[in-house]
């Protein structure tokens, strides 16, 4: 709650504002149970408001208010309307709790304060949180408090036991309301100095409205104070008049009765306010009261004073406009009071900060950003920071739409503040703290004395930085907006997938939620790329391999690989591009047998056995590449898989040196051996050759010294050595700019890399130890073929299904092992109770029951009718191997039960699991498309930037010396600056089209149609309510017109009778006419004012 100016509300003041010795403070206990407690203070009427405010904050430890609602109304018993009770319970108390407001009342258990206390009590009983406390402060005159003597003689060291009087007050005295938490009791002052509590309350409200609080964000605002008028008698007008002179805004609840209805009726016609109109209103609203003319004239003057500050008055009728919450009405009243005296943007900041804090973007749109005020970017910087910190994406969008410039707003300092606002118990906070500690230790090691200051100037891409901050904060809606406003949308969405994937590894309990959010970002990337692919295939392909300048010059394919976005790879456009890369310049439908033929006979490359792309004539003049706006040139730059300029220059050199024939031979050679499918096929062939060599050595030509090693064995050792070099390259010599431990961690994360390590270590152990380990190692190398054939269209899904089945098989084996061990131990104890040989115990407990599952049941050793130990030399009588026939029927019964459970129940359960799993995979993991097993295999692996070639151990290292490997680095390209900017702009346009279509679909959705229908119903209801009000006004006008017509007709009749009498007298006496004074008749009858019903003449 630190003030921007430096003073905190409730902080100690100067010498003149210290505690006054006359203040009597204490604690009050209501009733005998002691459940209701409160604090009170006795103060003189002239006490400084700063002393009271400091008392509330510093000594009573109340939180600084974010809003003060001062209730003014009837202080005598009155019947509360049902809707008004709902306003107090569901509106006022709820708004006070949600906004951290103070409620000021008259403290006495009578009138409006009693109903407010009941609402506070109901809220406290319904709330389960101890923090959701509503602060209700009562300010009353000590002279009106019942049992005053208990409070007068209160000592500071002990509480005051205040009795509960359910019967109400006794004459002018009223008890304190036990539902209030704090009481300020004003001692009566000297006569002639006015109402002490009212004066003190006015000064306290004025003082609080001048204080500042840091509620709602990073900057401070003045504490808003709002007076709420409910009912009230005419004496309340003095209170209202004094308050509006202090510029205090008022909210008047129309329909609550009393003075509130008088003010509501006069708000629409203040120019007709006269004592007669006021008297008529008083008689209507207070029919049982009789007021003197002097009081009516005095109250009329007060009404005129109040009406001169109409901008501070807001009238709201909850019966007709019941759809709005009270906090909304309060905010509208505060904004209206601000609008009246200024049109400067700075004067609206406090109300705008309140709207942000209360998350009322609708009020901000309708009342603040309605075109009356011209907002500049610097005016919205504070509220923009508040909206970002408090996660209000709708406000961020509103501020950007109304002039906020993110490029000017976001500096490195503000970005640092955003990261400092991270919740302490979050994963991002731990990561930032760890990074800060590493930086501090690094600076300490370098001898630096000061921490690094943030760089000067704005960030390179503010939308990207805000997007990353929102993704790390798990604020999906805000991140989606920043994604929509930034550039390079496909890369940004894939980067978000990668970030969430890495964070899910660090926080396992949130992995499910993060996976759902990751799917949303992946869907954004997929939808945007679909939009781009429909518009232009060439430019969409360029997006996949173009180095994104805002994302560390990485490509979309590389990001998709790192994030393992299967749905993105399953897209038709990505598949088409991967097919294009996979086959290179060869036709995609080339049979594998032709490739194998050309592989073993390279001369077939130069025949028509394999179809290649048409070779265009070589043109290397400067005019061929300088015109980037040309469609052909753009396509050549976008669609080329390598550096076009290098190819052209190399081809030109070949043409000059060797002629066209040599250039043709070189080009064909590069196209065939440079195609990834050829490299992959070579790896497969060489791996099979490696396995054949391993088999030959293991079965035929493996001799220990001095006969060995043979030549084939030495060739095998060298081949395995090349595999070791390949694994070292994959693990450490990568293009990722990370430290050694990180590279090793990424390498080990892949399960097939672990398989490779196991195979290599077993091979080393087998060579140095025994042939048995080498034989087991051959099994591991053979199992490595599963990974090779996982790219096959038919075998791939089945391999994945088997892999998923293995996880469920472990649960099945658990149940099976339970039965197997239980049966094995029991039968061993019954058949061989005295056989203590350990090897035979394990054989009979585990091995024999396992064989019995598959039908190998040794009845000669189990069944009493078939056991004959004399026929077998190993089963002599008395030998431990001879079965014990005692309780043999139990053994037979156990055998039947064991076979029934294992062969019938558990085996059928296993079959059912195997039949159910493929269906489940088909609905979840296999639905993404056949990209995993399409004719082209995956060209990239998450832990291998060199692609699928590097993932397959191969002894054919000589192939890599002749042909380049496939991988993302060979496909990455830097486009020329004009063309790169054109592609970025084109992607931004496609993103706008995609968002427009998305918004159109959202508007046409059923939920949106229902919301619009509900909004229209509310508008129609308000319109009908206005029509009813206009109908009442028209009826009043008709009655007034009728009364005036009757009055005019009576005046005309009077004039006619007077004229006839004058003519008769003139004719009889001959005297000159005398002017008849009809003014008395006209002046004696008054036309009713607007808003009054005429009486019968």
Share of the chain above pLDDT 90, in %: 13
Q: What is the mean pLDDT of the chain?
A: 77
- Minimal CA–CA distance to 84: which of 220, 329, 256? 256
Mean local confidence (pLDDT), 694-714: 85
In angstroms, the CA 546 to CA 980 distance is 8
128 and 27: one domain?
Answer: yes
Last residue of a domain, one of 736, 768, 793: 793
Asked if residue 475 is part of any domain, the answer here is: no
Mean local confidence (pLDDT), 480-503: 90
760 and 782: one domain?
Answer: yes
Would you tell me how many other CB atoms lie within 10 Å of the CB of residue 474? 18
Q: Are 97 and 134 in contact (CB under 8 A)?
A: yes
Would you tell me how many other CB atoms lie within 10 Å of the CB of residue 100? 18
Number of domains in the chain: 4
Do strands 225-230 and 67-73 pair parallel, antiparallel, or not at all (unpaired)?
A: parallel
Q: Are 521 and 493 in contact (CB under 8 A)?
A: yes
**469 or 5: which leads in pLDDT:** 469
1021 and 1059: one domain?
Answer: yes
Burial 1063-1086 (b: 16+ CB within 10 A, else e): eeeeeeeeeeeeeeeeeeeeeeee
What sign has the CA pseudo-torsion 575, 577, 582, 583? Answer: positive
Q: Are 624 and 612 in contact (CB under 8 A)?
A: no
209 and 125: one domain?
Answer: yes
pLDDT, tens digit, 9 for 90 and up, residues 968-1018: 334 677 788 888 889 999 999 999 999 888 888 877 776 666 777 777 777
Q: Are 105 and 137 in contact (CB under 8 A)?
A: yes
pLDDT, tens digit, 9 for 90 and up, residues 581-597: 888 888 888 888 888 88
Do strands 36-43 and 67-73 pair parallel, antiparallel, or not at all (unpaired)?
A: unpaired
Asked if residue 854 is part of any domain, the answer here is: yes
Q: What was the pLDDT predicted at 854?
A: 82
- Minimal CA–CA distance to 931: which of 787, 725, 791? 791
779 and 800: one domain?
Answer: no
Mean local confidence (pLDDT), 567-576: 87
Locate 397 and state its tokens: 């969008």
pLDDT, tens digit, 9 for 90 and up, residues 88-129: 888 888 788 777 889 999 888 888 888 898 888 888 787 766
In angstroms, the CA 77 to CA 109 distance is 9
Asked if residue 657 is part of any domain, the answer here is: no
Which DSSP symbol is given to 822?
H
Separation in Å, CA 205 to CA 13, 96, 208, 305? 18, 16, 5, 20
Locate 66 and state its tokens: 């974010």
Last residue of a domain, one of 873, 901, 931: 931
Q: What was the pLDDT predicted at 531?
A: 92
- Minimal CA–CA distance to 150: which of 26, 257, 55? 26
Kindly state the helix (H) or strand (E) to which residue 452 belongs, with its residue range: none
Burial 267-299 (b: 16+ CB within 10 A, else e): beeeeebeeebbbbbbeebbeeeeeeeeebeeb
DSSP string, 990-1059: HHHHHHHHHHHHHHTSHHHHHHHHHHHHHHHHHHHHHHHHHHHHHHHHHHHHHHHHHHHHHHHHHHHHHH
| Count of CA atoms in the C-beta half-sphere (13 A) of 1075 | 2
25 and 131: one domain?
Answer: yes
In angstroms, the CA 678 to CA 952 distance is 14
pLDDT confidence band for 1097 (50 / 70 / 90): very low
For residue 144, give its domain range.
15-223
Asked if residue 858 is part of any domain, the answer here is: yes
Separation in Å, CA 972 to CA 264, 643, 672, 947, 950? 72, 9, 20, 13, 18
65 and 188: one domain?
Answer: yes
Query: Residue 714: pLDDT above 80?
Result: yes
Asked if residue 357 is part of any domain, the answer here is: no
103 and 176: one domain?
Answer: yes
**194 or 869: which leads in pLDDT:** 869
pLDDT, tens digit, 9 for 90 and up, residues 175-189: 898 888 899 999 886
**963 or 492: which leads in pLDDT:** 492
Would you tell me how many other CB atoms lie within 10 Å of the CB of residue 794? 8
Q: What was the pLDDT predicted at 493?
A: 93
Asked if residue 1074 is part of any domain, the answer here is: no
Q: Which residues contact 575 (CB under 8 A, 6 or more apart)?
A: 569, 929, 931, 934, 936
77 and 115: one domain?
Answer: yes
Last residue of a domain, one of 748, 766, 793: 793
Q: Are 918 and 801 in contact (CB under 8 A)?
A: yes
In angstroms, the CA 612 to CA 633 distance is 21
804 and 777: one domain?
Answer: no
What sign has the CA pseudo-torsion 267, 272, 278, 281? Answer: negative
Would you tell me how many other CB atoms lie within 10 Å of the CB of residue 754? 12
Would you tell me how many other CB atoms lie within 10 Å of the CB of residue 1013? 10
- CA–chain centroid gap for 119, Å, is 34
């Amino acid at each position: 709650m630190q003030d921007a100016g430096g003073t905190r509300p409730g902080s100690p003041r100067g010498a003149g504002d210290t505690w006054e010795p006359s203040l009597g403070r204490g604690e009050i206990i209501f009733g005998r149970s002691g459940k209701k407690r409160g604090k009170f203070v006795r103060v003189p009427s002239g006490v400084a408001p700063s002393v009271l405010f400091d008392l509330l904050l510093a000594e009573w430890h109340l939180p600084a208010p974010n809003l003060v609602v001062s209730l003014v109304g009837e202080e005598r018993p009155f019947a509360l309307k049902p809707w008004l009770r709902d306003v107090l319970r569901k509106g006022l108390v709820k708004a006070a709790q949600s906004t951290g407001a103070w409620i000021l009342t008259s403290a006495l258990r009578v009138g409006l304060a009693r109903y407010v206390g009941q609402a506070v009590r109901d809220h406290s009983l319904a709330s389960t949180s101890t923090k959701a406390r509503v602060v209700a402060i009562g300010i009353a005159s000590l002279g009106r408090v019942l049992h005053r003597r208990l409070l007068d003689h209160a000592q500071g060291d002990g509480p005051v036991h205040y009795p509960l009087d359910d019967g109400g007050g006794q004459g002018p005295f009223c008890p304190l309301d036990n539902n209030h938490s704090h009481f300020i009791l004003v001692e009566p002052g000297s006569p002639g100095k006015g109402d002490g509590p009212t004066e003190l309350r006015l000064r306290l409200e004025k003082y609080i409205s001048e204080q500042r609080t840091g509620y709602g964000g990073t900057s401070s605002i003045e504490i808003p104070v709002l007076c709420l008028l409910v009912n009230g008698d005419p004496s309340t007008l003095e209170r209202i008049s004094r308050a509006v002179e202090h510029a205090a805004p008022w909210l008047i609840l129309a329909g609550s009765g009393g003075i509130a209805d008088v003010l509501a009726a006069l708000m629409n016609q203040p120019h007709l306010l006269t004592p007669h109109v006021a008297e008529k209103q008083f008689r209507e609203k207070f029919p049982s009261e009789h007021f003197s003319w002097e009081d009516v004239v005095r109250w009329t003057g007060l009404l005129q004073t109040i009406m001169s500050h109409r901008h501070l008055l807001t009238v709201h009728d909850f019966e007709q406009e019941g759809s709005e919450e009270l906090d909304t009405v309060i905010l509208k009243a505060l904004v209206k009071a601000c609008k009246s005296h200024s049109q400067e943007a700075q004067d609206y900041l406090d109300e705008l900060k309140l709207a942000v804090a209360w998350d009322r973007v609708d009020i901000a749109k309708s009342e603040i950003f309605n075109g009356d005020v011209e907002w500049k970017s610097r005016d919205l910087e504070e509220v923009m920071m508040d909206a970002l910190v408090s996660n209000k994406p709708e406000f961020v969008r509103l501020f950007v739409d109304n002039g906020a410039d993110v490029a000017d707003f976001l500096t490195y300092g503000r970005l640092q503040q955003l990261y400092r606002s991270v919740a302490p118990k979050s994963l991002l906070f731990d990561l930032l703290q760890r990074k800060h500690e590493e930086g501090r230790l690094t600076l300490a090691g370098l001898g630096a004395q000061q921490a690094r200051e943030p760089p000067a100037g704005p960030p390179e891409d503010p939308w990207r930085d805000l997007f990353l901050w929102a993704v790390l904060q798990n604020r999906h809606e805000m991140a989606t907006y920043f994604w929509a406003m930034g550039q390079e949308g496909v890369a940004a969405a894939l980067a978000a997938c990668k970030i969430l994937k890495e964070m899910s590894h660090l926080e396992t309990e949130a992995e499910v939620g993060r996976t759902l959010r990751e799917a949303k970002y992946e869907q954004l990337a997929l939808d945007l790329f679909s939009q781009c692919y429909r518009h232009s295939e060439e430019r969409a392909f360029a997006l996949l391999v173009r180095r994104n300048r805002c994302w560390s010059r990485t490509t979309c394919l590389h990001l998709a690989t790192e994030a393992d976005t299967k749905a993105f790879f399953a897209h038709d456009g990505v598949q088409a591009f991967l097919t294009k890369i996979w086959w290179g310049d060869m036709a995609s439908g080339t049979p594998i047998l032709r490739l194998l033929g050309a592989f073993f006979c390279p001369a077939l490359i130069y025949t028509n056995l394999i179809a290649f792309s048409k070779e265009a004539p070589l043109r290397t003049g400067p005019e061929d590449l300088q015109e980037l706006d040309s469609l052909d040139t753009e396509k050549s730059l976008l669609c080329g898989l390598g550096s076009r300029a290098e190819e052209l220059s190399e081809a030109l050199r070949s043409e000059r040196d060797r002629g066209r024939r040599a250039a043709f031979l070189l080009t064909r050679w590069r196209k065939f051996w440079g195609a990834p499918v050829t490299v992959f096929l070579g790896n497969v062939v060489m791996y099979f050759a490696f396995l054949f060599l391993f088999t030959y050595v293991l079965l035929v030509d493996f001799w220990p010294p001095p006969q060995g090693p043979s030549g084939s064995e030495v060739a095998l050792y060298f081949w395995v050595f090349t595999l070791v070099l390949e694994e070292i390259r994959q693990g450490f010599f990568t293009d990722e700019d990370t430290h050694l431990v990180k590279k090793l961690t990424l390498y080990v994360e892949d399960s097939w890399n672990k398989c490779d390590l196991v195979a290599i270590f077993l091979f080393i152990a087998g060579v140095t130890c025994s042939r048995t380990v080498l034989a087991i190692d051959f099994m591991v190398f053979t199992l490595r073929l599963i990974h090779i054939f996982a790219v096959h269209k038919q075998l791939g899904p089945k391999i994945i299904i088997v892999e998923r089945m293995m996880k469920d098989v472990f649960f099945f084996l658990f149940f099976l092992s339970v039965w197997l061990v239980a049966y094995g131990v029991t039968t061993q104890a019954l058949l061989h109770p005295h056989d203590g040989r350990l090897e035979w115990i394990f054989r009979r407990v585990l091995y024999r029951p396992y064989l019995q599952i598959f039908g190998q049941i040794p009845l000669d050793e189990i069944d009493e009718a078939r056991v004959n130990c004399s026929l077998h030399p190993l089963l002599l009588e008395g030998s431990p191997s001879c079965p014990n026939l005692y309780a043999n029927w139990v053994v037979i019964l156990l055998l039947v039960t064991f076979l029934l459970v294992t062969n019938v129940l558990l085996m059928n359960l296993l079959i059912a699991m195997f039949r159910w799993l493929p269906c489940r995979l088909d609905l979840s993991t296999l639905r993404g498309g056949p990209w995993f097993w399409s004719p082209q295999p995956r060209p990239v692996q998450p832990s291998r930037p060199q692609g699928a070639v590097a993932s397959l151990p191969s002894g054919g290292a000589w192939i890599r010396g002749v042909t380049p490997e496939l991988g993302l680095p060979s496909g990455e390209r830097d486009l020329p600056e004009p063309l790169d900017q054109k592609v970025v702009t084109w992607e931004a346009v496609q993103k706008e089209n995609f968002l427009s279509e998305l918004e159109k679909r959202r508007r046409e959705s059923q939920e949106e149609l229902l919301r619009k229908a509900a909004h229209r119903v509310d508008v129609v209801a308000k319109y009908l309510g206005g029509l009813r009000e206009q109908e009442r006004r028209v009826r009043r006008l008709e009655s007034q017109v009728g009364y005036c017509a009757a009055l005019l007709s009576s005046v005309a009749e009077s004039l006619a009778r007077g004229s006839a009498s004058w003519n008769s007298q003139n004719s009889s006496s001959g005297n000159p006419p005398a002017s008849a004074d009809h003014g008395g008749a006209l002046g004696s009858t008054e036309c009713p004012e607007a808003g009054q019903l005429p009486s019968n003449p």
